[in-house]
Amino acid sequence: MRGELSHGLAPLRASRSRILDANTSELVLLRGVNRSGLEYAEPGDGGFLSAAGISRDEIGVIVGEWGANIIRLPFNQDWALHGRGNFTAEDYRQALDNVIAWAAELGAYTLLDLQWLDADTEFGHTADGSVNRVAPLPNSASIELWQTLADRYREEPAVLFDLFNEPHSPLDDDANPLCVVREDGVLEMSEPRAITAQDWNRWAAKLVSAIREIHPSSLVFVSGIDWGFDFNDVRIDVPNIVYSAHVYPNRRRVEWSHRFGFVCVDRPLFVGEWGGGADDLQWGSLLATYISRFACGWTAWSWADIPRLVGNAQSNDYTPTEFGNVVRSELARS
């Protein structure tokens, strides 16, 4: 790629607690939504985008009508490296390209989010009995993945990288071994155990290094531990890093400042996921106000999955939910 996907969007850089236009040094406030689906939608005859229900017209609604200037795009590592069914890895990457180009043409960046390692492994079950597909940590293939994407998009300023969705300690019934990074940088397999900030720091540093060897100017987003919520002792000491928190109504307001808000002292803070239902409208407004104090960016969850921002994205029903109206109102203030 030689910039044709980015449609002239400016490169971005991090400067202390702000994200800036790298050409003009003007503040850039990134606000938008998560458009999930590509991490799990099994491709049928129409391919990956058709299965996920993502179209150019839909991106037009997100950017043109709602006013988003960033779309966080969760994706599947295995499919990006090996494809799925009758479709190749290149088919999958082309699907990513299409979304990037559609968004950039309208003036929006795309944040590629490593959401799932694959669509087959179960990483335990949540309290309601649902299967959890979000891995506690990356694995050895994650290095190849980010090298591949860094090379593909190194001349595409519209593309931003979100290293790994939600590092967390394994759930009680998750018996999968962990791939950890030793102090000397070597990968090794470990029995399931609590994930510490040090565990995540080593992994994040290794992945950032893999990207930067190929794409030195990339803007990389790093989430906290405890499902993206906690940044205590999380530290990546290289340029152009943005810390990306995930905040939902089960996280008490009194925790916000000492779990993620404090990072704004010297790093940009981005809230990569936040969302709720009809009972969480006041909570959502309070969080949006809290985030705005730091001139932070965010992407609300989710355009297509629970808790939903619109009626049913896969059926082209883009009527805002009650919480979607909160998000849309906040976007209008950008």
Residue 334 has pLDDT above 70, yes or no: no
Domain of 180, CATH number, reads 3.20.20.80
Q: Can you give the pLDDT at residue 125?
A: 97
Query: Could you read off the pLDDT of 125-184 as tens digits, one per residue?
Result: 999 999 999 999 999 999 999 999 999 999 999 999 999 999 999 999 999 999 999 999
Q: Which among 96, 147, 89, 90 is positioned nearest to 118, based on CA atoms?
A: 89
Q: Can you give the pLDDT at residue 3?
A: 87
Residue 143 falls inside a structural domain = yes
Q: Can you give the pLDDT at residue 333?
A: 86
Average pLDDT in the 60-65 region? 98
Task: Please count the structural domains in the chain.
Answer: 1
Q: Two tokens at 131?
A: 């299967």
Band (pLDDT 50/70/90 cuts) for residue 2 is confident
Residue 106 has pLDDT above 80, yes or no: yes
Residue 224 has pLDDT above 80, yes or no: yes
Query: Could you read off the pLDDT of 255-280 as tens digits, one per residue?
Result: 999 999 999 888 999 999 999 999 99
Average pLDDT, the chain: 96
Q: Report strand pairing: 241-247 vs 187-190.
A: unpaired
Residue 284 has pLDDT above 90, yes or no: yes
Average pLDDT in the 197-202 region? 98
Q: Which among 262, 314, 255 is positioned nearest to 54, based on CA atoms?
A: 314
Distance CA 234, CA 12 (A): 23
Residue 2 falls inside a structural domain = no
Residue 219 falls inside a structural domain = yes
HSE-CB of 199 using CA atoms within 13 angstroms: 21
Residue 3 falls inside a structural domain = no
Whole-number percent of the chain with pLDDT over 90: 96
Residue 7 falls inside a structural domain = no
| C-beta neighbour count of 184 within 10 angstroms | 6
Residue 1 has pLDDT above 90, yes or no: no
Sign of the alpha-carbon dihedral angle for 136, 294, 327, 161: negative
Residue 240 falls inside a structural domain = yes
Peptide bond into 15 cis (omega under 30): no
Residue 233 falls inside a structural domain = yes
Burial class of 56 by CB neighbour count within 10 A (0 to 12, 13 to 18, 19+): middle
Give the residue numbers spanning the domain of 181. 12-332
pTM for the predicted model, two decimal places: 0.97
Residue 4 falls inside a structural domain = no
Beta strands in 78-197 (DSSP E): 109-116, 159-162, 178-181, 187-190
